[in-house]
Amino acid sequence: MRNPVRVVGAAARRVLVPEWTAILRDVAELRSDRDNLLTDVGVLRSELADARRRYDVEAAETAVLRARVEALEADIDENRRLSARVAEVTDLVTEVVLPLHDREIDATRLRPRGTEPE
Amino acid sequence: MGDETCVTAPEIVGVDRDAIAARVRPLGGPVDVLLDGRRLFSVRLEDHPAGRIPWPDALRPHLHGTATIALRRPDGPPGAAVDVDLGGSGRFAVTDASGRDLVVNKWGRLGRALGDSDPRVTERLLDHAEAVTAVLERELGLEPFVTGGTLLGAVRERRLLGHDDDVDLGYVSGHEDPVEVAREGFEVGRVLRRAGFDVLRHSAGHLQMHFEHEGVSDHYVDVFAGFVREGHWHQLFCIRHPARRADLLPRSSVTIAGRPMPAPADVELALEANYGPGWRVPDPAFRFETPRATRRRLDLWFPGMHVDREDWASRTDRREVSARARRLVDADPGLPALDLGCGAGADTAFLADHLGRAVGVDWNAPALESARAAVQGRDADIHSVNLRDLRAVVRLGAQLAAEDHGWVVLVGRVLDHLDEAGRENVLRLLGMVLRRGGHAQVDVTDDREDLERMAVRHGLVLGRNGGDLELRRAPVVVSAA
């Protein structure tokens, strides 16, 4: 037999708050939605933490690559400066040293010691 | 009516010793500043968003007296002229020593503009450009063509541009390697000097020939090296543009002041390479904005040899004998003197008088002329040497070191005016000429430690003699072992 107090209470609820059942259903749904959202927030927090870690790794890699680009550019610059120096030195040999040789130097003295021309 | 507002000439609302306040719409694009009706300089208004056009630094020493100023769009009529008083006496004028009008050129320096010159200057310029072209064709088989502003003027106006001041010639080397292009550039200089031109070398790939007329400086012709490499046409000092050799050679022809002149095969490509796709629109305020990739290549393959040249030129007109030269003579070294950075030659003449013989070295052309006059009748030579040019320095060193004696060297303020490469060259020169004895008296205001380190590399030691710094050949240490 049903508890008469409950039966009366249920009847009173139906009369006073006819939406009671619907509200209970909505509350259950909202709780479920909240739980799902909390789960989503957890997932998103975890993804954000991952993204931050990846960003930090990539930022560190970018800094390393930036430094490498700077070093490579400096090397290329050095190489290009060397081109200018090679041109100057080659020009010096052909325009200054060889004419001096023609004027003043005995060619036989330029041979490496201990070797004879073939 | 609204459209009419857009084409109204720019208006001056105020002028003081700092700037010209302008009312001009739109606030962008080039504007000429006119002094007494002639163009004095040009600006781009977007660089001065408040409409205040500052006077260029080069004009500051001349800014006094009364003046009539106006503004003008390059393709429009001038705005209303405004009479202003900049303070001080006289009339605001910007002229050279011969009274000829000067303008502020695209480098921000005072120079002459063909628009202000006698039309016969154009004739003489083209004559000389043809003569230079003929020498390069005949002696080196090169095929020079007009380039830069000269080509722009030829295509846009069939004449030389009024705001320009020279003729630009370029050639395409047969070499691809910058080393070979630079070596060829050195040879180009020698060939042109042998042909009698007054050649100033700016870099291994840029030469400038100055011409006088009736005793005063008249005009100049620039020669720029070019080459094709990595699918790009490179030409000093600002071109790197996708192109094949066939885009440039064989040469085409353009007409300048009724005269045919050689031009690159694809003229439009050449102009776009130099001035960008907007080259057809007149812009006297145009400034070269060389892309970094181009600058890093051309500036390093062909380093400039005239760092701080204006600064040095302004310090070369001293006519009094320096106290340092007197101290050098008082020490009675018994050796001839080398005067590095001799300027107008006052010290060189004094040293020759007291030490028997002196050699003066400078690069500034007017100073060299004064120096040659100053030493006349004495046992003295004056050499034109750019101390930033390793080849010229070693050549001089070899020549002086070949004499059977040491030297006393007056280095003056030269070291303070050179960059590191130039200082290294001076120390190299001293290392050569002091091999047989003597010393160099050096004047440096800073970087003494740096100089000490550099000296060691060239077999020299830095010491002190009274108030003077001296460099001598380092003693040879013979190890007992």
More confident residue, B297 or B86: B297
Residue B149 confidence (pLDDT): 92
Least confident piece of the model among B55-69, B110-124, B302-316, B425-439? B302-316
Residue A102 confidence (pLDDT): 60
Reply yes or no on whether the pLDDT at A103 is more than 60: no
Query: Which of B182, B190, B395 has the CB atom closest to A84's CB atom?
Result: B182
- Give the residue extent of every domain in chain A: 4-101
- pLDDT, one tens digit per residue, over A43-54 is 999 999 999 999
Burial class (CB in 10 A: 0-12, 13-18, 19+), B221: buried
Q: B183, A81: Cβ pair inside 8 Å?
A: no
Query: Which of A80, A84, A96 has the CB atom closest to B398's CB atom?
Result: A96
Cα separations in angstroms, B31 against B10, B20, B49, B60, B68: 8, 12, 13, 20, 16
Most confident of B59-68, B127-136, B209-218, B392-401: B127-136
Question: Using a CB-CB distance cutoff of 8 angstroms, which residues of chain B are in contact with residue A87?
Answer: 178-180, 182-183, 186, 204
User: Do you know the residue count of chain B?
Assistant: 481
Question: Using a CB-CB distance cutoff of 8 angstroms, which residues of chain B are in contact with residue A101?
Answer: none
Torsion of CA B350, B451, B313, B237, to 10 degrees: 140
Q: Residues of chain B whose C-beta is under 8 A from some C-beta in A?
A: 177-180, 182-183, 186, 190, 204, 296-297, 300-303, 390-391, 394-395, 398, 402
Q: What type of residue is B217?
A: S
Q: How confident is the model at residue B38 (pLDDT cuts 50, 70, 90)?
A: confident
Q: What type of residue is B434?
A: L
Q: What is the mean pLDDT of residues A108-112?
A: 49
Q: How confident is the model at residue B480 (pLDDT cuts 50, 70, 90)?
A: low
Residue B410 confidence (pLDDT): 95
Distance between CA atoms of residues B450 and B342, nearest Å: 24
Q: A83, B178: Cβ pair inside 8 Å?
A: yes
Query: Which of B301, B391, B402 has the CB atom closest to A92's CB atom?
Result: B391
Q: How confident is the model at residue B351 (pLDDT cuts 50, 70, 90)?
A: very high
Residue B465 confidence (pLDDT): 84
pTM: 0.79
Query: Which tokens is B3 given?
Result: 């459209």
Q: Residues of chain A whose C-beta is under 8 A from some C-beta in B?
A: 73, 76-77, 80-81, 83-92, 95-96, 100, 104
Q: What type of residue is B393?
A: V
Q: A73, B296: Cβ pair inside 8 Å?
A: yes
Nearby residues of B204 by Cβ (< 8 Å), 6 or more positions away: A84, A87, A88, B181, B182, B183, B185, B186, B225, B301, B302, B303
Question: What does DSSP assign to residue B251?
Answer: -
For an interface test with A, which of B229, B394, B403 has the most A Cβ atoms less than 10 Å from its Cβ? Answer: B394
Determine contact, residues B205/B178, Cβ cutoff 8 Å: no
**Contact pairs from chain A to chain B, CB under 8 Å:** 58
Residue B310 confidence (pLDDT): 61
CATH class of domain segment(s) B2-109: mainly beta
Q: A83, B300: Cβ pair inside 8 Å?
A: yes
Q: A76, B296: Cβ pair inside 8 Å?
A: yes
Question: If we measure between CA atoms, which residue out of B243, B210, B183 comes closest to residue B368?
Answer: B210
Q: What is the mean pLDDT of residues B237-247?
A: 96
Question: Using a CB-CB distance cutoff of 8 angstroms, which residues of chain A are in contact with residue B182?
Answer: 83-84, 87-88, 91
- Give the residue extent of every domain in chain B: 2-109, 115-304, 310-473
Question: Using a CB-CB distance cutoff of 8 angstroms, which residues of chain B are in contact with residue A86?
Answer: 179
The complex scores an ipTM of 0.77
Taking CA–CA distances from A82, the nearest residue in chain B reads: B301
More confident residue, B389 or B163: B389
Distance between CA atoms of residues B52 and B84, nearest Å: 16
Q: A84, B395: Cβ pair inside 8 Å?
A: no
Least confident piece of the model among B11-20, B63-72, B163-172, B469-478? B469-478
- pLDDT, one tens digit per residue, over B263-282 is 999 999 999 999 998 888 87
Question: Using a CB-CB distance cutoff of 8 angstroms, which residues of chain A are in contact with residue B298?
Answer: none
According to CATH, the topology of domain B115-304 is Beta Polymerase; domain 2 (3.30.460)
Question: What does DSSP assign to residue B57?
Answer: G
- pLDDT, one tens digit per residue, over B394-417 is 989 988 988 889 999 999 788 888
Taking CA–CA distances from B182, the nearest residue in chain A reads: A87
Reply yes or no on whether the pLDDT at B117 is more than 80: no
For an interface test with A, which of B300, B305, B396, B424 has the most A Cβ atoms less than 10 Å from its Cβ? Answer: B300
Reply yes or no on whether the pLDDT at A110 is more than 50: no
Residue B318 confidence (pLDDT): 75
Burial class (CB in 10 A: 0-12, 13-18, 19+), B8: middle
Determine contact, residues B345/B410, Cβ cutoff 8 Å: no
Query: Which of A85, A87, A96 has the CB atom closest to B395's CB atom?
Result: A96
Q: B394, A76: Cβ pair inside 8 Å?
A: no
- The mean predicted confidence, pLDDT, of chain B is 88
Residue A118 confidence (pLDDT): 42
* 3 state SS of B270: helix
User: Do you know the residue count of chain A?
Assistant: 118
Percent of chain B at pLDDT > 70 equals 94
Q: How confident is the model at residue B2 (pLDDT cuts 50, 70, 90)?
A: very low
Percent of chain A at pLDDT > 70 equals 81
Distance between CA atoms of residues B164 and B73, nearest Å: 17
Q: How confident is the model at residue A115 (pLDDT cuts 50, 70, 90)?
A: very low
Reply yes or no on whether the pLDDT at B143 is more than 90: yes
Query: Please, what is the end-to-end C-alpha distance for chain A in angstroms?
Result: 131
Query: Which of B179, B302, B394 has the CB atom closest to A86's CB atom?
Result: B179
Question: Using a CB-CB distance cutoff of 8 angstroms, which residues of chain A are in contact with residue B391?
Answer: 88, 91-92, 95-96
Question: Using a CB-CB distance cutoff of 8 angstroms, which residues of chain B are in contact with residue A69?
Answer: none
Full DSSP string of B143-164: --EE-HHHHHHHHHHSS--TT-
Q: How confident is the model at residue B6 (pLDDT cuts 50, 70, 90)?
A: very low
Task: For the domain covering B310-473, report its CATH number.
Answer: 3.40.50.150
Question: Using a CB-CB distance cutoff of 8 angstroms, which residues of chain B are in contact with residue A85?
Answer: 390
Q: What is the mean pLDDT of residues B355-377?
A: 92
Residue B299 confidence (pLDDT): 94
Residue B93 confidence (pLDDT): 86
Taking CA–CA distances from A78, the nearest residue in chain B reads: B300
Q: A80, B394: Cβ pair inside 8 Å?
A: no
- In this chain, the answer to whether the domains covering B115-304 and B310-473 adopt an identical fold is no
